[in-house]
Amino acid sequence: MRRNLWLAWALTLCFVGSQQPLPGQAPSMDTRPNNVKNVLAAMVFCKHGDMVGALGLEMTKLGDEVSASILRGMAPTDLASPENIKSYLCLVRLAFWKPERIVRPEDRVPGVTIFMLEYLKEREIHNEDLKAEINSVEDYVKQQTEEHPRTS
């Protein structure tokens, strides 16, 4: 029952967040608040090992915006829990799965993502398994984007 409520809530956020602009509205309006809601909803699904098709496909179009949305919507102390780190890593893999699908060209460069992965590695100094998983995702993102942005 509780899982069904989460599913309904996340689907609602997904549909609300992916609406097209109304006639007369500027198509360049800022959609980032919707991205934050959708990314946080997707994190819930990643925690349970599930991903709704439409929500997962939306993540593949965001690229570096996934990390920026996490920073906008989640406190750093919340992100630092191992469960949330694993969910975040799941989303990062989705976000850079097919870089050519990323809508905004600036989100194809993983600057924020690499910065966050470096931050998480520093926080997880004593958890070698989690640190290895973070390194694996970082290598994956660099390979997918063929970018090695500076983080300092």
- Which carries the bigger pLDDT value, residue 30 or residue 86? 86
Q: What is the CA radius of gyration of the chain?
A: 15
CB 31 within 8 A of CB 62: no
- C-alpha 113/C-alpha 52 separation (Å) is 23
Retrieve residue 130's tokens: 């989690």
Per-residue pLDDT tens digits for 96-106:
999 999 999 99
Cα dihedral: 92, 93, 96, 101 (round 10): -110
Instruction: Give just the sign of the alpha carbon dihedral 60, 101, 29, 92.
Output: positive
Identity of the amino acid at 106: E
Q: Is the pLDDT of residue 68 over 90?
A: yes
The pLDDT assigned to 48 comes to 75
CB-side neighbour CA atoms (13 Å) of 67 = 24
> What confidence category does residue 147 fall into, taking pLDDT thresholds of 50, 70 and 90?
low
The pLDDT assigned to 99 comes to 92
Per-residue pLDDT tens digits for 106-146:
999 999 999 999 999 988 778 899 999 999 999 999 999 98
The pLDDT assigned to 62 comes to 93
- Ranking 22-31, 35-44, 124-133 by mean pLDDT, the lowest is 22-31
Q: Match 């989705």 to its residue by tokens.
A: 94
Residues written for the chain: 152
Identity of the amino acid at 113: T
What is the chain's mean pLDDT, rounded? 78
Q: Which residues of 41-71 are buried (b: 16+ CB within 10 A; e: fewer)?
A: bbbbbbeeeebeeebbebbbbbbbbbbbbbe
The pLDDT assigned to 33 comes to 60
